[in-house]
């Protein structure tokens, strides 16, 4: 059997990783400013993470959600404590798309409404409902076209007001910072207006913090920079540092009913252990503060470079829009300087490093970036 060929692959196979570094089969070292797509939060192979996971697997790896699992309760308490949402409840699942599916389903259960309002260029995942709320027809099949989702332009309060006034929408869903679209931070005034309009129209406000959350923006959640609160918040990616996991933080206004949501693997013993290790390390090592400080250093260091049209983002979620003629920089960074970065479209480099990145690592990237752009006409 061969693999179903859906990923364009780089001809590199990392086999070892530590902190912000990766090594390939040939022993070549790479600096990781991609974090395996914003997944590695506390750094690769962190000793606390490794120890806690190996201790847990020695005891027990999995049992079903039909029995008590105090690791889930401990995780919920820790997320509540660190996120500023202690009174919310937690539902655990396995991925970002699944978290969004469950959030939209909950909003629909809660309001009895069927439609979802999303923003243009949004990315919420590839499963049935999540892909319908993703503004990319190329990844949607006819089966996904249920016409339950409408898109509005981001930062346009009038368009939002007009749609929500119909009171047809179960939820308005928006990313804390748009990632796949090339890193766009919603205006704080827009998020505040969205909060008010959702309150006025009985619409659930879902904030997808799958990429922007978990400390990456320099606060636990990116929407907290705007001083607002969401009804449902979806998380995944950095939550368990590479162990597959997703979750929904749920406002006390939502009533749980046995059987309304469920999953076989969600919140299993290993995933919860990984997620608890992440929060322990994040707290002790001040990862959120580091994201803010090192992010500012990177953003300032990129400004003024002749290849850079615009630098967007917050903390360690940075989009570098390149001027025409510099579209090859991402590949050059990888193959000539051995630095992994993310991309968005052809002309945006996305920086999504582990939150433990040091100023020295960031400086190494800036030096390499400057060297390459200097060489290029």
Ligand X SMILES: Cc1ncc(COP(=O)(O)O)c(C=O)c1O
Angstrom distances, CA of residue 148 to CA of 114, 159, 178, 206, 324: 7, 17, 21, 16, 38
Give least dist CB 180 to ligand X, A. 6
Question: Does 213 interact with ligand X (rule: CB under 6 A)?
Answer: no
Question: Does 222 interact with ligand X (rule: CB under 6 A)?
Answer: no
Q: Are 240 and 278 in contact (CB under 8 A)?
A: yes
Neighbouring residues of 96: CB distance < 8 A, sequence distance ≥ 6 = 124, 125, 130, 208, 210, 211, 234, 236, 237, 246
Question: Does 132 interact with ligand X (rule: CB under 6 A)?
Answer: no
Which stretch in 138-146, 173-181, 199-207, 358-366 sits in contact with ligand X by CB under 6 A?
Answer: 173-181
**Which tokens is 69 given?**
């699992």
Of 270 and 372, which CB lies nearer to ligand X in the complex structure? Answer: 270
Question: Cα angle vertex 127, ends 125, 132, to 5°?
Answer: 75
Question: Does 179 interact with ligand X (rule: CB under 6 A)?
Answer: yes
Neighbouring residues of 86: CB distance < 8 A, sequence distance ≥ 6 = 80
The residue from 34, 85, 123, 369 that contacts ligand X (CB under 6 A) is 123
Which stretch in 120-128, 274-282, 292-300, 361-369 sits in contact with ligand X by CB under 6 A?
Answer: 120-128
Of 204 and 307, which CB lies nearer to ligand X in the complex structure? Answer: 204
Distance CA 116, CA 210 (A): 18
How many residues make up the chain in this entry?
377
Of 314 and 372, which CB lies nearer to ligand X in the complex structure? Answer: 314
Q: Which is nearest to 83 in space by CA: 274, 215, 208, 186?
A: 215
Of 230 and 308, which CB lies nearer to ligand X in the complex structure? Answer: 230
Strand partners, 235: 247
The residue from 31, 71, 97, 339 that contacts ligand X (CB under 6 A) is 97
**Which tokens is 36 given?**
């395996």
The residue from 69, 72, 95, 341 that contacts ligand X (CB under 6 A) is 95
- Show contacts with ligand X in window 99-118 (CB under 6 A): 100
Of 124 and 332, which CB lies nearer to ligand X in the complex structure? Answer: 124
Of 113 and 124, which CB lies nearer to ligand X in the complex structure? Answer: 124
Distance CA 330, CA 245 (A): 29
Distance CA 220, CA 86 (A): 13
Angstrom distances, CA of residue 108 to CA of 169, 176, 205: 9, 21, 12
Give least dist CB 248 to ligand X, A. 12
The arrangement of strands across the sheet holding 29-32 comes to: 14-18, 21-24, 29-32, 339-340
Question: Does 241 interact with ligand X (rule: CB under 6 A)?
Answer: no
**Which tokens is 81 given?**
């404590």
Question: Does 36 interact with ligand X (rule: CB under 6 A)?
Answer: no
Question: Does 295 interact with ligand X (rule: CB under 6 A)?
Answer: no
Give least dist CB 319 to ligand X, A. 13
Of 211 and 347, which CB lies nearer to ligand X in the complex structure? Answer: 211
Question: Does 305 interact with ligand X (rule: CB under 6 A)?
Answer: no
Distance CA 277, CA 249 (A): 19
Report the residue closest to ligand X, judged by CB: 96
Interface size with ligand X, residues (CB under 6 A) = 14
Give least dist CB 179 to ligand X, A. 4
The residue from 115, 124, 330, 332 that contacts ligand X (CB under 6 A) is 124
The residue from 175, 231, 321, 361 that contacts ligand X (CB under 6 A) is 175
Of 174 and 320, which CB lies nearer to ligand X in the complex structure? Answer: 174
Residues at the site binding ligand X, with contacts judged by CB under 6 A: 95-97, 100, 123-125, 175, 179-180, 208, 210-211, 236
């Amino acid at each position: 059997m061969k693999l179903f060929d859906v990923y364009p692959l780089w001809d590199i196979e990392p086999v070892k990783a530590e902190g912000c570094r990766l090594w390939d089969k040939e022993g070549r070292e790479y600096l990781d400013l991609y974090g395996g797509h914003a997944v590695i939060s506390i750094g690769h192979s962190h000793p606390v993470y490794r120890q806690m996971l190996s201790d847990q697997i020695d005891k027990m790896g999995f049992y079903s959600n039909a029995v008590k699992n105090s690791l889930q309760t401990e995780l919920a308490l820790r997320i509540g404590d660190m996120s500023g949402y202690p009174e919310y409840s937690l539902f655990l699942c396995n991925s970002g798309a699944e978290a969004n599916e469950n959030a939209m389903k909950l909003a629909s259960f809660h309001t009895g409404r069927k439609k979802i309002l999303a923003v243009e260029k949004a990315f919420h995942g590839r499963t049935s409902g999540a892909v319908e709320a993703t503004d990319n027809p190329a990844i949607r099949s006819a089966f996904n076209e249920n016409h339950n989702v409408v898109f509005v332009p981001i930062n346009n309060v009038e368009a939002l007001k007009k749609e929500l006034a119909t009171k047809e929408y179960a939820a308005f869903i928006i990313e804390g910072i748009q990632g796949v679209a090339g890193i766009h931070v919603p205006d704080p005034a827009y998020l505040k207006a969205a909060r008010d309009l959702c309150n006025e129209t009985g619409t659930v406000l879902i904030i997808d913090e799958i990429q922007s959350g978990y400390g990456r923006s320099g606060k636990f959640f990116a929407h907290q920079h705007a001083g607002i609160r969401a009804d449902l918040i979806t998380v995944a990616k950095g939550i368990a540092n590479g162990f597959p996991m997703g979750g929904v933080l749920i406002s006390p206004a939502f009533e749980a009913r046995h059987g309304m949501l469920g999953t076989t693997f969600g919140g299993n013993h290993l995933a919860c252990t990984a997620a608890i290790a992440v929060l322990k390390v994040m707290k002790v090592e001040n990862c959120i503060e580091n994201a803010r400080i090192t992010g500012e250093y990177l953003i300032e260091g990129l400004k003024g470079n002749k290849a850079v049209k615009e630098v967007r983002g917050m903390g360690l979620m940075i989009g570098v829009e390149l001027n025409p003629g510099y579209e090859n920089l991402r590949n050059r960074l990888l193959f000539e300087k051995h630095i992994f970065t993310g991309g968005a479209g052809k002309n945006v480099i996305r920086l999504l490093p582990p939150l433990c990145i040091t100023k020295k690592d960031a400086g190494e990237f800036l030096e390499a970036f400057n060297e390459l752009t200097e060489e290029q006409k």
